[in-house]
C-alpha cells in the first residue's frame, strides 16, 4: 500500500536548534527546513513513515518574555507546514525551555487538534503546567539518552496516530497507558480493567492490614489546607452584600451551560431577572424545594427584608452562581478565586453570603 508520509514539525530552543548558547537566548522565532540536532535522532526513530518537514526554533529568554503570545506566534509557523503530528524538545530539566515546549504543545494541540508530544524531567516546572495539554514523555534531568527518548516519543506518536483503542479502558478510548508508554499522566482518571475484582482487592488488602503486613491503598488521601476565616463585618447597615451559591441556580434555559455534574463553569446573573424564571443545574441534591422556591437556596427574600429594615445597606444586583457537584477541589478553588476577583473588581461589595447544598 502506498502510504502517504506523515508530516512532522519539531520545536527546539536556540541551543538544541544550533543557533547558539545562552548569549543567543534572546533570539526570536526562526524556521529551519528538515530536522536539526536532536531532531536527527527523532527522524531516525520515525523511520520512513514520517518526515520532519521543519524545525521551529526560538530563544528561551525571548519565549519566556511572553509565553502565551509567543506560543500563538510559534503555532502559526507550525500550522503553515500542515503537520500531522508535533514534537517539542526534549527539554530535560530546563525550566524556560520546558515551559516553551509545553506552551507550544498546548497551543498547537488546541489549534490543529493533532497529537502533541514532548519530553521532560519530573523536576521541570513544565510538567505540572502542561501535563494536561500534552503527552510529556519522561526524560532524565540532564541532556543524555536522546536516541532512546526519540524512540519513546516516536513509539507514542505512532500509537496515538493509529487510532487504536485501549481495550483495558472500560471506555475504550484511544488513550495509551502512561506506564506502558512512559509519559506523565495527564490529570485524567479512567476506569481500567483489572485482574482482580473490587471485592477481591478489598478483602485481600484488609486482611493484610489486619495481619500487620504492608498494604497498599489504591488512593493516597489528600492533605487539605486550612483556610482562616476573615474578620467579621462590624456594621452591616452600611455594606453592600453579594449572594453566591454552588447550588446550580440559573436563569431558565441555563444560558452559561453549567453542567449538572463535574461542572467547571460559573455564571453572573441579574438577580431580579433570575427570580422571574429559573431552573437548577445540579444533580447532586434533591432539587424540588429550590425549584419551588429559589429563596431557600439563595436568601433573596430575607436579604430584601433586611435591606428594607435598614439592617443591611444594600444587596448587590448580580448573583454569582456555580454548580458544585463532583467538581475537583482544585477547580473549585479556581472558581472561588475567579468569582472573588470579579467581586473585588466591582469595587462596591463589602461582604458575600455563600450558600451551599
Partner 1 sequence: MRLEIESIDIKDILEGPKTYAADGVLSINFKELEKLILKDPRIKSVEIALVKPGENVRLLNICDVVQPRCKIGREDADFPGFIGRIQTAGSGRTRSLRGVAIIVSNPGTNRKEIGVLDMCGPIAEKSPYGKMKNVSIAPTIADGVEERDFEDAVKIAGLATAVYLARAAEGHAVDEVEIFDLDIPKIDPASPLPRVAFYYQMYTPQFDYLATSDPCFYGTHVRTLTPTILHPNEILDGGLVGWNVVKAIDTYSIQNHGIIKELYRHHGKDLNFVGVIGICANTEPESRTRCAFMAANLVKNVLGADGVILAKVTGGMPHIDLAVAGEECEKLGVKTAIFTQPLTPFGTLSDTILFNAPCLDLIIAASATFERTKVPWKAEKFLGGTAKTRIFCPDPIVQYAGDPVIDIEEYLLPGVLDCTGNARVIVKEY
* Chain positions contacting partner 1, by CB under 8 A: 170-172, 175, 177-178, 185-203, 205-207, 209-211, 215, 217-222, 224, 254, 257, 259-262, 283-286, 288, 325-331
Q: Shortest gap between Cβ of 178 and partner 1 (angstroms)?
A: 6
| Shortest distance in whole angstroms from residue 225 CB to partner 1 | 11
User: Quick one: 1 or 277, whose CB is closer to partner 1?
Assistant: 277
Distance set, CA 125 to CA 92, 103, 336 (Å): 11, 12, 24
Q: Which helix (H) or strand (E) holds 85?
A: strand 85-92
CB of 169 to partner 1, least distance (A): 8
How far apart CA 100 and CA 284 sit, in angstroms, is 40
Give me the least distance between CB of 173 and partner 1, in Å please.
Answer: 8
Between 334 and 342, name the residue whose CB sits nearer to partner 1. Answer: 334
Nearer to partner 1, 23 or 225 (CB): 225
- Which triple of cell numbers denotes residue 357? 447544598
Under DSSP, is residue 11 helix (H, G, I), strand (E, B) or coil? strand
Q: Which residue, 82 or 132, is less far from partner 1 as judged by CB? A: 132
CA 225, CA 222: separation in Å to the nearest integer?
10
281 closest CA partner among 309, 249, 234, 305: 249
Output 46 or 117, the one with its CB closest to partner 1: 117
Closer to partner 1 at the Cβ: 284 or 351? Answer: 284
DSSP 259: -
The answer to whether 174 and 163 are in contact (CB under 8 A) is: yes
The answer to whether 90 and 149 have CB atoms below 8 angstroms apart is yes
Beta carbon of residue 194, minimum distance to partner 1 (angstroms, whole number): 4
CB of 325 to partner 1, least distance (A): 7
**Burial of 207 by CB count in 10 Å (0-12 exposed, 13-18 middle, 19+ buried)?**
exposed
Amino acid at each position: 500500500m502506498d502510504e502517504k508520509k506523515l508530516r512532522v514539525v519539531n520545536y527546539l530552543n536556540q541551543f538544541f536548534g544550533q543557533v547558539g548558547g545562552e548569549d543567543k537566548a534572546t533570539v526570536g522565532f526562526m524556521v529551519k527546513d528538515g530536522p536539526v540536532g536532536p531532531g536527527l535522532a527523532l527522524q531516525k526513530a520515525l523511520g520512513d513513515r514520517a518526515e520532519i518537514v521543519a524545525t521551529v526554533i526560538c530563544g528561551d529568554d525571548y519565549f519566556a518574555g511572553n509565553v502565551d503570545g509567543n506560543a500563538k506566534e510559534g503555532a502559526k509557523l507550525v500550522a503553515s507546514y500542515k503537520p500531522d503530528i508535533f514534537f517539542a524538545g526534549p527539554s530535560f530539566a530546563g525550566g524556560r525551555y520546558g515551559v516553551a515546549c509545553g506552551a507550544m504543545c498546548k497551543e498547537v494541540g488546541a489549534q490543529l487538534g493533532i497529537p502533541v508530544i514532548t519530553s521532560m524531567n519530573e523536576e521541570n516546572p513544565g510538567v505540572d503546567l502542561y501535563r494536561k495539554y500534552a503527552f510529556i514523555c519522561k526524560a532524565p534531568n540532564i541532556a543524555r539518552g536522546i536516541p532512546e527518548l526519540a524512540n519513546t516519543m516516536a513509539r507514542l506518536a505512532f500509537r496515538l496516530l493509529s487510532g487504536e483503542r485501549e481495550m483495558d479502558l472500560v471506555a475504550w478510548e484511544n488513550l495509551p497507558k502512561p506506564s506502558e508508554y512512559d509519559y506523565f499522566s495527564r490529570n485524567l482518571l479512567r476506569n481500567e480493567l483489572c485482574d482482580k475484582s473490587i471485592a477481591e482487592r478489598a478483602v485481600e488488602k484488609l486482611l493484610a492490614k489486619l495481619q500487620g503486613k504492608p498494604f497498599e491503598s489504591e488512593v493516597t488521601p489528600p492533605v487539605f489546607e486550612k483556610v482562616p476565616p476573615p474578620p467579621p463585618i462590624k456594621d452591616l447597615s452600611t455594606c453592600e452584600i453579594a449572594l453566591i451559591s454552588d447550588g446550580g441556580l440559573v436563569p431558565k434555559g441555563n444560558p452559561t451551560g453549567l453542567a449538572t455534574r463535574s461542572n467547571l463553569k460559573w455564571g453572573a446573573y441579574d438577580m431580579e431577572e433570575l427570580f422571574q424564571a429559573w431552573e437548577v443545574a445540579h444533580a447532586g441534591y434533591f432539587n424540588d424545594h429550590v425549584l419551588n422556591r429559589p429563596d431557600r437556596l439563595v436568601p433573596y427574600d430575607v436579604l430584601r427584608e433586611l435591606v428594607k429594615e435598614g439592617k443591611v445597606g444594600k444587596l448587590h444586583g448580580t448573583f454569582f452562581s456555580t454548580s458544585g457537584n463532583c467538581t475537583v477541589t482544585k477547580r473549585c478553588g479556581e472558581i472561588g478565586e475567579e468569582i472573588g476577583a470579579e467581586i473585588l473588581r466591582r469595587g462596591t461589595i463589602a461582604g458575600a453570603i455563600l450558600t451551599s447544598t
